[in-house]
C-alpha cells in the first residue's frame, strides 16, 4: 500500500467532503472512487467490509466508513484527518446557510437549485454499483444475494432488517464459500502493524477532555454547549441505520423535548442538511447554531460524529485480528454482495427525493453515461449536474 502524507490525505477527504452531495452512500461511493480507483490506497473489499461494519454499528454510516478508511491508511492520525476533511466543508456551509436563514428566512430558489444535484448523485452511485458488481461478483449465488438483499431492504425497512440481511448473507457465505476459500491456499492475513499507542492516547485525551467539558465551572455558554454535546453525543451512540434515521430521533429531542427549534425550522434545517455536501447528520449543526452560534454548531458536529467513529475503530481492530481466517473470509464473501445490494437500493432512495420530472431523468442519464463511459470524477460530475438542473429549470 503506497504511503501518503497526512496533509495530502486530509486534502483528499476535504475534496470528497466538498463534492459529495446526498450524504450516506454518496460519500462511500466518492471514497471508493478516490481511494480505490484513482489512488490505490485501499481496495474494493476493504470499502465493502467497512460499509458492512458501519451498517451494524451505531452512528452515521458515512463518517464511520471515513474513520475506518483513514485508520487503515495512516492509523489514528489518518482517521482524524479523514473525519476533519469530510466534515469541515459541510460544517462551514451549514453555518453560512444557518446565519442567512435565521436572519433572512429560507431561500426556496436556493433549495430548488440544489435539488438538481440529487439525480446526479443517484447516477454516480449507480455507476459505483456497476463497477463493484463487475469486480466483486463472480457467481450466480452472489448475484442472488445482491438482488435478495436489495429487495429485502426496499420492502422491509429498519435497522433490524439490515442486521438480519447481513447475518443471513454471512451464514450463506460460511456454508457455500468456506470450502472454496480453504482450497485457495492463500497466505494468512497479517494485520498491518499499527502501534496501539496513538489509539490509546487519543481515547485518553478524549476522555480527559470530556470530563473537563462536563465538570468545569460553567458559564451560560458552556452550559448550552454541554447540553448540546450530551444530547447529540447520546443520540450518536444509541441509534442505528444512518443519517436519515437520525432525523426523526433528533426531531423528537430538539423540537419536542428541548424546544430549541420549531417544527418548521427543523424541517428547513433538514433541507439545508440535504443540499449541503457531506454527511446528512450535519443537520445537528443547524440546531447547534440556533442555540449557541458557531461554537454550538462545532460542538454538535463533533459529538454527532466522533463518538460512534471511536466505536467503529475499536470494532475494526477486532475484525483486523480475525480477518484472513478461511471461515471469516467466507462470511465476508457472502456479506459483500449484500452490501452491494444495499448500495443499489440507495439509488432508489435518493431518486425518490429528487423531483419526478423529465429534467431529473435527463440529468440522471447524462451523468450515468459520463461516469461509466468517460469515468469522470464526481468533483466534475456534481457541478455538471447542478448546472444542468439550473438550466433545465427554465425550459
Q: What is the DSSP string of 138-201?
A: -SHHHHHHHHHHHHHHHHS-SHHHHHHHHHHHHHHHHHHHHHHHHTT-PPPP------SHHHHH
> Do 127 and 29 belong together in one domain?
yes
Q: Is the pLDDT confidence value at 48 over 60?
A: yes
Is 38 within the bounds of a domain?
yes
Q: Is the pLDDT confidence value at 246 over 70?
A: no
Is 190 within the bounds of a domain?
no
Please give the C-alpha separations between residue 338 and each of 156, 170, 222, in angstroms, as whole numbers: 15, 9, 45
| Number of neighbours of residue 339 by Cβ within 10 angstroms | 29
Q: Is the pLDDT confidence value at 9 over 70?
A: yes
Identify the residue with better confidence: 162 or 188: 162
> Do 334 and 259 belong together in one domain?
no
> Do 341 and 265 belong together in one domain?
no
Cβ-Cβ contacts under 8 Å for 78 (sequence gap 6 or more)? 6, 9, 70, 71, 72
- Predicted pLDDT at 68: 93
- Give CA 224 to chain center in angstroms: 28
Identify the residue with better confidence: 181 or 148: 148
Give 336's Cβ-side CA count (13 Å radius): 24
Q: Is the pLDDT confidence value at 185 over 50?
A: no
Is 192 within the bounds of a domain?
no
Is 334 within the bounds of a domain?
yes
Q: Say which range, 8-22, 30-44, 130-144, 380-394, has the weakest mean pLDDT.
A: 380-394
Q: Which three cell numbers stand for residue 291?
A: 442555540
* Maximum average pLDDT range among 4-13, 25-34, 55-64, 256-265: 4-13
Among 311, 335, 363, the domain boundary falls at 311
Q: What sign for the dihedral angle of Cα 274, 275, 278, 282?
A: negative
**Whole-number Å distance between alpha carbons of 346 and 142:** 19
Q: Which three cell numbers stand for residue 182?
A: 480453504
- Burial environment of residue 51 by CB neighbours within 10 A (0 to 12, 13 to 18, 19 or more): buried
> Do 128 and 109 belong together in one domain?
yes
Q: Say which range, 146-155, 240-249, 278-287, 366-375, has the weakest mean pLDDT.
A: 240-249
Q: Which residues pair with 21 in a beta bridge?
A: 277
Please give the C-alpha separations between residue 103 and each of 97, 109, 210, 275, 288, in angstroms, as whole numbers: 10, 17, 33, 19, 16
Is 193 within the bounds of a domain?
no
**Whole-number Å distance between alpha carbons of 284 and 266:** 10
Q: Which residues pair with 277 in a beta bridge?
A: 21
The confidence band for 10, taking pLDDT boundaries of 50, 70 and 90, is very high
- Give CA 151 to chain center in angstroms: 22
Q: Are 392 and 362 in contact (CB under 8 A)?
A: yes
The confidence band for 393, taking pLDDT boundaries of 50, 70 and 90, is low
> Do 160 and 88 belong together in one domain?
yes
- Predicted pLDDT at 190: 44
Q: Is the pLDDT confidence value at 43 over 50?
A: yes
Q: Is the pLDDT confidence value at 70 over 90?
A: yes
- The model carries a pTM of 0.74
- Predicted pLDDT at 333: 85
Identify the residue with better confidence: 191 or 70: 70
Is 199 within the bounds of a domain?
no
Cβ-Cβ contacts under 8 Å for 180 (sequence gap 6 or more)? 330
Q: Are 58 and 302 in contact (CB under 8 A)?
A: no
Among 311, 342, 373, the domain boundary falls at 311
**Whole-number Å distance between alpha carbons of 238 and 159:** 12
Q: Say which range, 138-152, 201-215, 327-341, has the weakest mean pLDDT.
A: 201-215
Dump pLDDT digits (tens) for 82-103. Answer: 999 999 998 998 898 888 877 7
For cell 467532503, the residue is 17
Is 351 within the bounds of a domain?
yes
Please give the C-alpha separations between residue 15 and each of 2, 9, 19, 195, 380, in angstroms, as whole numbers: 20, 10, 6, 28, 11
> Do 179 and 212 belong together in one domain?
no
Q: Say which range, 208-212, 274-278, 365-369, 391-395, has the weakest mean pLDDT.
A: 208-212
Residues spanned by the domain of 251 = 204-311
> Do 27 and 95 belong together in one domain?
yes
- Predicted pLDDT at 193: 45
The confidence band for 270, taking pLDDT boundaries of 50, 70 and 90, is confident
Q: Are 232 and 292 in contact (CB under 8 A)?
A: no
> Do 320 and 175 belong together in one domain?
yes
- Mean pLDDT within 280-307: 89
Is 198 within the bounds of a domain?
no
Question: In degrees rounded to 5, what are phi and psi of residue 277?
Answer: -70, 170
> Do 354 and 301 belong together in one domain?
no
> Do 77 and 93 belong together in one domain?
yes
Query: What is the total count of domains within the chain?
Result: 2
**Whole-number Å distance between alpha carbons of 3 and 14:** 18
Q: Is the pLDDT confidence value at 53 over 70?
A: yes
- Predicted pLDDT at 245: 53
**Whole-number Å distance between alpha carbons of 52 and 386:** 31
| Number of neighbours of residue 335 by Cβ within 10 angstroms | 28
Percent of the chain residues past pLDDT 70, beyond the cut: 79
**Whole-number Å distance between alpha carbons of 158 and 246:** 12
Among 285, 311, 337, the domain boundary falls at 311
- Predicted pLDDT at 323: 72
- Mean pLDDT within 219-241: 80
> Do 100 and 169 belong together in one domain?
yes
Mean pLDDT of the chain: 79
> Do 67 and 152 belong together in one domain?
yes
Q: Is the pLDDT confidence value at 154 over 70?
A: yes
Amino acid at each position: 500500500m503506497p504511503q501518503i502524507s497526512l496533509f495530502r490525505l486530509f486534502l483528499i477527504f476535504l475534496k470528497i467532503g466538498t463534492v459529495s452531495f446526498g450524504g450516506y452512500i454518496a460519500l462511500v461511493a466518492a471514497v471508493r472512487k478516490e481511494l480505490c480507483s484513482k489512488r490505490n490506497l485501499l481496495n474494493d473489499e476493504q470499502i465493502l467490509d467497512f460499509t458492512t461494519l458501519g451498517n451494524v454499528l451505531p452512528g452515521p454510516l458515512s463518517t464511520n466508513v471515513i474513520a475506518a478508511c483513514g485508520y487503515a491508511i495512516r492509523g489514528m492520525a489518518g482517521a482524524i484527518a479523514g473525519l476533519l476533511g469530510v466534515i469541515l466543508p459541510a460544517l462551514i456551509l451549514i453555518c453560512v446557510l444557518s446565519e442567512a436563514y435565521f436572519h433572512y428566512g429560507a431561500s426556496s430558489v436556493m433549495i430548488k437549485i440544489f435539488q438538481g444535484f440529487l439525480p446526479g448523485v443517484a447516477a454516480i452511485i449507480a455507476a459505483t454499483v456497476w463497477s463493484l458488481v463487475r469486480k466483486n461478483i463472480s457467481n450466480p449465488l452472489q448475484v442472488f444475494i445482491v438482488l435478495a438483499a436489495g429487495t429485502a431492504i426496499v420492502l422491509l425497512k429498519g435497522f433490524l432488517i439490515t442486521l438480519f440481511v447481513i447475518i443471513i448473507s454471512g451464514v450463506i457465505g460460511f456454508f457455500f464459500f468456506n470450502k472454496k476459500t480453504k482450497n485457495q491456499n492463500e497466505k494468512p492475513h497479517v494485520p498491518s502493524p499499527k502501534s496501539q499507542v496513538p489509539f490509546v492516547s487519543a481515547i485518553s485525551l478524549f476522555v480527559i477532555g470530556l470530563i473537563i467539558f462536563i465538570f468545569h465551572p460553567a458559564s451560560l455558554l458552556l452550559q448550552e454547549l454541554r447540553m448540546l454535546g450530551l444530547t447529540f453525543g447520546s443520540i450518536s451512540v444509541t441509534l442505528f441505520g444512518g443519517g436519515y434515521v437520525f432525523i426523526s430521533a433528533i426531531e423528537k429531542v430538539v423540537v419536542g423535548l428541548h424546544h430549541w427549534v420549531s417544527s418548521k425550522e427543523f424541517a428547513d434545517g433538514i433541507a439545508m442538511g440535504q443540499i449541503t455536501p457531506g454527511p446528512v447528520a450535519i443537520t445537528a449543526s443547524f440546531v447547534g447554531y440556533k442555540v449557541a452560534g458557531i461554537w454550538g454548531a462545532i460542538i454538535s458536529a463533533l459529538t454527532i460524529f466522533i463518538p460512534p467513529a471511536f466505536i467503529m475503530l475499536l470494532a475494526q481492530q477486532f475484525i483486523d485480528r480475525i480477518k484472513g481466517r478461511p471461515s471469516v473470509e467466507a462470511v465476508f464473501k457472502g456479506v459483500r454482495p449484500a452490501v452491494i445490494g444495499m448500495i443499489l437500493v440507495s439509488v432508489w432512495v435518493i431518486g425518490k427525493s429528487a423531483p419526478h420530472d423529465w429534467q431529473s431523468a435527463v440529468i440522471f442519464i447524462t451523468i450515468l453515461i459520463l461516469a461509466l463511459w468517460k469515468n469522470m470524477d464526481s468533483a466534475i460530475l456534481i457541478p455538471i449536474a447542478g448546472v444542468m438542473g439550473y438550466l433545465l429549470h427554465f425550459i
